[in-house]
Amino acid sequence: MISLTLQGLLWALVIIIALLSFDKKTYKALYTTPARQTGVLACAIVFSVLWRIKAGILTGLDLHILGVTAATLVLGWRSAILSSVLASALLTAVGQIELNLLPMQILIGAFIPILLSYLGFLISYQYFPRHFFVYIFVCAFITAGFIACIKISLGALFYLAIGQYNWQELADNYVYLSAIIWFPEAMLNGMAITIMITYRPHWVKTFYDKDYLDS
């Protein structure tokens, strides 16, 4: 059980990140562009479906595909944050996320993976060759698999810190499963981005034709 103090701290972090993601220009463009609205809502629905399909051994420690890396590359981190909030609200409304676990789920299951996914893109853009296949394998495939492992590790550390499980339980029933989940996470995100930049590259906000196709 999460204490009220910890819940308050988690909510504070969620609100701070949400506020930092707010950008007047981004939201004005979202308001005036139906295509962007469709993209945000579509990603929210995809998140809801992916996060609904889950499996786990210990209560609260569920495995599921995140899908946030592809969404971040397509929408940008600000709009991906908005999509994740909408998806989390929907899942909470239908009873899939307990209200006391909501801030933890948003922070560890969405916000941190989204920010790290965007950081992975920035590092790749700055330090790696700007090539079509580099974008697919580094920004999407490798980053998504890495993010899946980080999410599991953060979840394990959280439950260890609040004393709900000991390390042996977490290692045997959750952390070791990162060896299983990283590949489907990487494959799904990598395939989604490959299809998008092949057939609809103008939908992918972080894919710049002049950099990745002219190199």
Per residue in 118-146, pLDDT (tens digit) is: 999 999 999 999 888 999 999 999 999 99
- Residue pair 67/49 in contact by the 8 Å Cβ criterion: no
Q: What is the C-alpha to C-alpha distance for residues 166 and 159, in angstroms, rounded to an integer?
A: 8
What average pLDDT score do residues 185-205 get?
93
Distance from the Cα of residue 34 to its chain's centroid: 23
Across 165-191, average pLDDT = 90
What's the CATH number where 31 sits?
A: 1.10.1760.20
Sign of CA dihedral 146, 141, 204, 104: negative
Predicted confidence (pLDDT) at residue 25 exceeds the cutoff of 70: yes
**Confidence band (pLDDT; 50, 70, 90) for 214?**
low
Q: What percent of the chain has pLDDT over 90?
A: 62
Q: Which residues of 191-213 are buried (b: 16+ CB within 10 A; e: fewer)?
A: ebbbebbeeeeeebbbbeeeebe
Residue 170, CA distances (Å) to 21, 61, 151, 153 in order: 32, 9, 13, 10
* 215 Cβ contact partners less than 8 Å away, ≥ 6 residues apart: 129, 130, 131
CB atoms within 10 A of CB 42: 14
pLDDT over 70 percentage in the chain: 99
pLDDT tens, residue by residue, 56-73: 777 778 888 999 999 999
pLDDT of residue 215: 55
Lookup: tokens for 129: 């060759």
Per residue in 88-103, pLDDT tens?
999 999 988 888 889 9
Give the range of the structural domain holding residue 183, as residue numbers without chain letter: 4-212
How many CB atoms within 10 Å of residue 150? 16
Q: How far apart, in Å, are the Cα atoms of 168 and each of 62, 99, 154, 158, 192?
A: 17, 27, 16, 14, 36
Q: Collapse the DSSP code of 213 into the 3-class scheme (helix H, G, I; strand E, B; otherwise coil) and give the result.
A: coil
Please give the pLDDT value at position 43.
96
Position 1 scores a pLDDT of 63
Q: Contact 150/117 with Cβ under 8 angstroms?
A: no
Number of domains in the chain: 1
Rounded-to-integer distance, Cα 64 and Cα 79, Å? 22
**pTM across the whole model:** 0.94
